[in-house]
Amino acid sequence: MALAINDLNVPQRLLLGPGPSAVHPRVLRTMSTALVGYLDPEWLSLMDEEQALLRAVFQTKNTMTFPMSGTGSAGMETAFCNFVEPGDTVVIGCNGYFSERMCEMAKLYGANVKRIEKPWGGVFTPAEIETALAENKPVKILALIHAETSTGALQPLEGMAEVVHRHGALFLIDCVTSLSGVPLNIDGWGIDVAFSASQKCLGCPPGLSPFTVGDQAREALYRRKNRVPNWYLDLTMIEKYWNKERVYHHTPSTTLHYGFREGLRLVLEEGLEDRWFRHQAIAEYLWDKMATLGLKLFVPRENRLPSLSTICVPDGVDDAAVRTRLREAYNIDIAGGFGPLKGKIWRVGLMGFSSRRENVTLLSEALREILHGKI
C-alpha cells in the first residue's frame, strides 16, 4: 500500500528567534543551481572564491579559513578536538549555556578545564582573564563566547588577545551569533581560532560552520603529540581538500555551499561596517519599542548583543503562552530562555535578512495586542 504523504506545505513564519534567521531570496535562488562533482574544476574554483569571501568577512589573511560541514556545534567541536590534547589546561569563561557546552567538549578531549564564572548575562574584563591565566599556568587555550545566544550578552574582545598571548595561550572564540552582525576583526584583535554558523547573521540555511585558524594555532596543531581524535573534523586532513592539493576528504553539500557563497557576497555588497550599523540600529529600535510597552531588557545596554535581544517576561505573564499566541495568530517565531532563564526571558533575534525595521514594528504591535488582552 502506498503511503499517503501530502506535498510539503510549511508555513511562512517570520523568524525572529535565535536562529535560524530568514534566508535572503537571492540565497534561496542560488541554491537551486545544478549540482557539480566535488572535484569538478568549476567546483574547485567556487571553493577558492568561497575562501576569499570568508576571509574578507572574518577580516583575516589566515590560510586555514573555510566552512566546516556541520552546524556551529560542529565548529565548536572542531576547535576542541584539534587544539586540545589530554592534560592540556583550558580556561573557559562561563557565563551562559554555550560556554557550558565548551566545557563539556573540552573535557571529552582530555582537557583540564578551569572555569571562570560570571552570572548568566555577565561579561569578562581583561583583568579577570589575566588573573585566571596567571593562576592556572601553563594554559593552552583561553576560550570565550563572543555573542552568548542564551543571554543576549556581547563579550568585549579588543585588547583581550594581548593578555592571552602574554601568558603563552591560544585565544579561541565562539562567534556563532556575531559574525557579520557586530564588529569582529580576527587579525586586528589577535584571535587564534574562531568558529561561527551559517544560519545566524550571515542569513543562510543551517549546515555550515565558518572556521578560521591563525598561524600560531596552526603551528600548535602540527606539533600535536597524538593524532586528532576525530576523523570527520580533523583539520590536518580537511585543509588538504581546501588547499591546492585537493585531496578528497568527504562529499560537501554543494547546495549549502552555493547558498553560503551568495550569503557572503551579500554581506560584502552591503559592506561590513554598514551591516554592523544596520544590526545595531534595528536592535535599538526594538529596545525603544519594548520600553514603550513597559518591557525591560535582561542585559544592560552597554553589554547588549544587537543580533539577539533578551526581553524580561513581565510578572504574571505566561512566557510559553505568549510565544504560542505569536506563532498561531501572527506567524511570528521567537524563543524563550532555558537553564536558569527558563520562563524569565524572550529571545528575539534580528539577524541578517531578519534584521529589518518592519519586522520590529510587527512584533511590537503583536506583543502590545497580546499583553493588553486585545486578542
**Stretch 141-151: mean pLDDT:** 98
Cα–Cα distance measured from residue 258 to residue 270, given in angstroms and rounded to the nearest whole number: 19
Q: Which residues pair with 148 in a beta bridge?
A: 153
- Residue 8 pLDDT greater than 80, yes or no: yes
345: helix, strand or coil = strand
Scan for cell 569571501, then name that residue. Answer: 53
pLDDT averaged over every residue in the chain: 97
Class of domain 25-268: alpha beta
Joined together, the cell numbers standing for residue 368 give: 502590545
pTM given for the model? 0.97
218: amino acid identity, one letter: R
- Residue 375 pLDDT greater than 70, yes or no: no
What's the pLDDT score for residue 301? 97
| Helix/strand/coil percent split, the chain, to 5 | 40, 15, 45
Cα–Cα distance measured from residue 311 to residue 317, given in angstroms and rounded to the nearest whole number: 13
pLDDT tens digits for range 100-131: 999 999 999 999 999 999 999 999 999 999 99
- Residue 373 pLDDT greater than 90, yes or no: no
What's the pLDDT score for residue 275? 98
Tell me the torsion sign for CA atoms 264, 266, 271, 275. negative
pLDDT tens digits for range 72-83: 999 999 999 999
Band (pLDDT 50/70/90 cuts) for residue 1 is low
Cα–Cα distance measured from residue 214 to residue 170, given in angstroms and rounded to the nearest whole number: 10
**Stretch 148-167: mean pLDDT:** 97
Return the CATH superfamily for domain 14-19+272-371: Aspartate Aminotransferase, domain 1 (3.90.1150.10)
- Residue 295 pLDDT greater than 60, yes or no: yes
Q: Which residues pair with 213 in a beta bridge?
A: 64, 193
Joined together, the cell numbers standing for residue 30 give: 542560488
What's the pLDDT score for residue 2? 73
- Residue 374 pLDDT greater than 80, yes or no: no
3-state DSSP of 122-159: CCCCHHHHHHHHHHCCCCCEEEEECEECCCCEECCCCC
Q: What are the residue boundaries of the structural domains of the chain, listed by start?
A: 14-19+272-371, 25-268
pLDDT tens digits for range 222-276: 999 999 999 999 999 999 999 999 999 999 999 999 999 999 999 999 999 999 9
